[in-house]
Copies of this chain bind each other. A is one copy, B any other.
Amino acid sequence: MTLVRTSLRTILNEPRPDALERWFGDVTDPRERGEELARLDQERAARLAYLIGPPATARLVEPVDRNTAADFLGQLPLPTLIETIGRIRTDRAAAILREMPSPLVVEVLARLGRERSAPLRTVLAHPPTSAGAHMTPVFIALPADTPAEEAIERVRESAADGAVAFTLYVTGDDGELLGVVPFRALVLAPADRPVGELMRTRVIEVTAEADREEAARLLNAHDLAAIPVVADGRIVGVITADGVADIVEEEATEDAERQGGSAPLDVPYLHASPWKLWKKRILWLLVLFAAEAYTGTVLRHFEEELESAIALAFFIPLLIGTGGNTGTQITTTLIRAMATGEVALRDMGRVIRKEMGTGMLIAVAMAGAAMVRAWTLGVGPQVTLVVVLAVGAIVLWSALVSSILPLVLRRLGIDPAVVSAPFIATLVDGTGLIIYFEVAKLVLW
């Protein structure tokens, strides 16, 4: 199905309307569109915006990744940029502006016209990970005595005006949120029924300062099309299912990066310089290095034992590696189960029993594997016995630590996602060596 297509860049060398139109027809995936936009230089970007005009430019960049959109729009002449930003829906426009240099943002907001800049300023005033930063401040609010028919008419007008959520909010005299009427309920109701009789009064809402993850969790848990954002009891905006999909994706990326043992990047990977990547990674590397340095102390402590049975050294990476692997399997599964809310603090007992049971089974299997390996290395029966016993003990120890630690951290209010694979490997390395050499001392001397 993939044909060789003319790239947007080539088309813009000598643009013909039909070629451009064909491109818009063929390339519909926002991700692909973004990739092609990213490859335009300033001249071609400006030419494209000029040819299709601000409304089409706004529709083009709106669903594209915000960094790409910001880079592309930043290349346009200022008047074109301002007119285009003015036509992008508020939550997306704010997300794009956050990626632009501040002087340009100040300029754009100053020249945008109050009606359009005021809602953008409202959204931009909230910290990037708050619910307020992801809302769109355009929503439909009506008094309780509005008849259903009139409300539908108002929704039609608002939709033409660019409101993104069709959900109707019923508000009191001071703008306080009284209830909510889903659009489907509105359409299915008799024409003269006042919206106050149709509304659900138990409204699921978030405050503007709440964490954006809370908004995402509530919207998904209750299968809502949009969730209202309130400040001082008044509705100030809504977050749509769409906005939540973006939040969920960004949070998942941050968790993945934490699990890999680095601080989350706040820009897309390809936009990050080596210097930026270094800054995000080096702290954890040094912390882990310092913790792992302890293994040197342990080994020096057992220097004599090591010298008298050098074969013990052969198994060091294998034993501590197996301990780390066992632990990593447990923590990743557990941290994910905690993130989806499946495992809670009070399940601690169940988790430990389950993991110790599994650890026992794994210890037996790995002891068998260790026996085979010791035999193939030809290290003699005594060292073999040490290795077999040590691997079993290390697997059990690692399982115990790995199943308790994430729950303890959660208990202390620390995000358990910091227990990354490198973290658990480091923790088990030093303690695993102590177990190994203590077993060796028992068996060999």
Contact = CB atoms under 8 A, between A and B. Distances in A.
A381 interface: no
A184 B166 contact: yes
A317 B361 contact: no
Contact of A188 (B159, B331, B430): B159
Interface in A282-301: 282, 284-286, 288-290, 292-293, 295-297, 299-300
Interface of A is mostly: helix
Given A274-B357, A366-B289, A321 B188 contact: no
Contact of A422 (B299, B324, B341): B324
A10 interface: no
A50 interface: no
B202 A362 contact: no
Nearest to A421: B421
A336 interface: yes
A252 interface: yes
A268 B347 CA distance: 13
A340 B253 CA distance: 9
A314 B340 contact: no
Interface of A: 25, 28-31, 35, 63, 65, 152, 155-156, 159-160, 166, 184, 187-188, 202, 204, 220-223, 241-242, 245, 248-249, 252-253, 256-257, 259-262, 265, 268-270, 272-275, 277-278, 281-282, 284-286, 288-290, 292-293, 295-297, 299-300, 303, 306-307, 310-311, 313-318, 320-322, 324-326, 328-337, 340-344, 347, 350, 354-355, 357-358, 360-362, 365-366, 369-370, 373, 376-377, 420-422, 425-426, 429-430, 433
Contacts of A336: 252-253, 256-257
Contacts of A360: 274
Nearest to A262: B329
Contact of A377 (B223, B253, B300): B300
Nearest to A268: B342
The 10 A-B pairs with the shortest beta carbon distances in the complex, nearest first, are A260-B332, A421-B421, A274-B357, A295-B317, A274-B358, A325-B422, A256-B336, A269-B337, A278-B361, A277-B358
A377 B346 CA distance: 44
A275 B292 CA distance: 33
A288 B369 CA distance: 11
10 contacts: A35-B344, A166-B184, A256-B336, A269-B343, A270-B347, A274-B360, A285-B326, A295-B318, A307-B310, A420-B421
Nearest to A157: B188
B156 A188 contact: yes
Contact of A317 (B292, B366, B421): B292
B317 A320 contact: yes
Contacts of A28: 202, 204, 222
B303 A422 contact: no
Nearest to A188: B156
